[in-house]
Amino acid sequence: MKKSLIALALTGAFAGAAHAQSSVTLYGLIDAGLVYTNNQLGHSSWQLSSSPTQNSVFGLKGSEDLGGGLHALFKIEQSFMINNGAQAFAGSMFGSQAWVGLQSDPYGTLTFGRQFDVMNDLVGPLTAEWNTWGGSLAGHPFENDNLSANSVVFNNTVKYASPTWNGLTFETMYAFSNKAGNFANNRAYGFAVSYAQGPVNLAAGYLQANGPGNGSGAITTGDTSADFIAQRQRIWSLGGNYTYGPVTAGLVWSHTQIDNAAGVFAFGSGTYLGAGDASAGTLGGSLRLDNYEANLKYALTPAWTVSGAYTYTHGAYNGSAPGWNTAMLQTAYAISKRTDFYVEGVYQNVHGAPQGSVLSHAMINTLSPSSTQTQVAVAAGMRHAF
């Protein structure tokens, strides 16, 4: 009886929405795979992994035509762990996204709520780590530049996105700390611009977070959004790609400055790696990272793709110059428009980092740290979109 009433209520709600020239869409993506790693915390491992390449999510999005080129919009989305059903963002009903806003056809879109940052929106799609043909495992060390898809989500965010003018799009954002008497602590702001015309795509952006991970605010540790706990994090990025027939080739550069870093999170274990941590050393002081990525995707057939990426990351940390080499190779085959299978391998090596620091341990994105300077992972999985 209860199920019948719920069904009747939903039917009435959607019918009313349709009558008002509105739409509500249920959507999602599920990614699951087996991952072999040669070294995680000193041991090789086989794991059934949730989201080796893309976050598994489900959500609702909708719009209402208000007339005169004006629309009301909303999106609520949750990311989850397919292997055990747990929330990916702990304690958040809609941890991936939760926002409402207005879209004007001639003037752009203004949204309010929990959202991805503007640089992730516009520069991220030019990287291998943002796309299904590379994904989370291909992320830059420690996900230091926020360019991996669906990684860092900002609370209390107001974001503006312009219409597209002759291929040009602009976005800007401000994420409030929401702290009385402490307005500047754990807030964030940024801007990004992109240009897409024919085979050419270009984008650039800047993002600054003051006090990320320090209690509540724009970026928190409570829901595992924060990658670093620091006094300040600043990120510049620039990228482009070119498509010629079945081939797309791209180059991306990003520069990250982390001031007075206290620690970083190991994404595979959810463990905070800071002062006194026995598993992977310490992190403290200022950290500078430049990421140089080259990527390539080749569609052998409409269903079969091969892709690869190489990123060199140059660092500066307390008088040392650590460097990371990260390489990714993937092949994927789609058996329908919504379902595909993939095999992906990732290699990472770090050198020049001071011993006893977390930087001296290789750590492929989404995995726990290696006990050495090298880590290798191979994933075989399935993705289904709906």
**94 vs 76: CA distance, rounded Å:** 6
Residue pair 344/53 in contact (Cβ under 8 Å)? The answer is yes
315 by Cβ neighbours in 10 Å (0-12 / 13-18 / 19+) ranks as buried
**172 vs 110: CA distance, rounded Å:** 10
- The mean pLDDT value for 95-123 works out to 96
pLDDT band at residue 4 under the 50/70/90 scheme: very low
pTM for the full model? 0.89
- Cα-based distances in Å from 360 to 197, 318, 347, 356, 370: 42, 13, 15, 7, 9
Q: Quick one: pLDDT at residue 270?
A: 56
Q: Is the dihedral of CA 211, 216, 220, 221 positive or negative?
A: positive
Residue 97 has pLDDT above 90, yes or no: yes
Cβ partners under 8 Å of residue 70, min gap 6: 102, 103, 104, 105
Count of CB atoms within 10 A of residue 300's CB? 11
Residue 149 has pLDDT above 90, yes or no: no
**188 vs 157: CA distance, rounded Å:** 9
Of residues 380 and 355, the one with the higher pLDDT is: 380
Residue 262 has pLDDT above 90, yes or no: no
Tell me the DSSP string of 134-186.
T-GGGPPGGGTTS-STT---EEEEEEEEPPPBTTEEEEEEEE----TT-TTTT
- The mean pLDDT value for 206-234 works out to 87
Which residue type does 350 have? Answer: V
Kindly list the structural domains of the chain, giving each domain's residue range(s) and its CATH number in brackets, ordered by start. 32-385 (2.40.160.10)
Strand (E) or helix (H) holding 9? helix 2-19
- The mean pLDDT value for 339-344 works out to 98
Cβ partners under 8 Å of residue 10, min gap 6: none
- The mean pLDDT value for 349-359 works out to 91
pLDDT band at residue 267 under the 50/70/90 scheme: low
**141 vs 365: CA distance, rounded Å:** 7
pLDDT tens profile 7-50: 444 444 444 444 458 999 999 999 999 999 999 989 999 999 88
CA–chain centroid gap for 116, Å, is 8
**344 vs 333: CA distance, rounded Å:** 12
Q: Quick one: pLDDT at residue 86?
A: 85
Residue 226 has pLDDT above 90, yes or no: no
CA–chain centroid gap for 250, Å, is 18
How long a stretch of residues is the chain?
Answer: 386
- The mean pLDDT value for 115-140 works out to 95
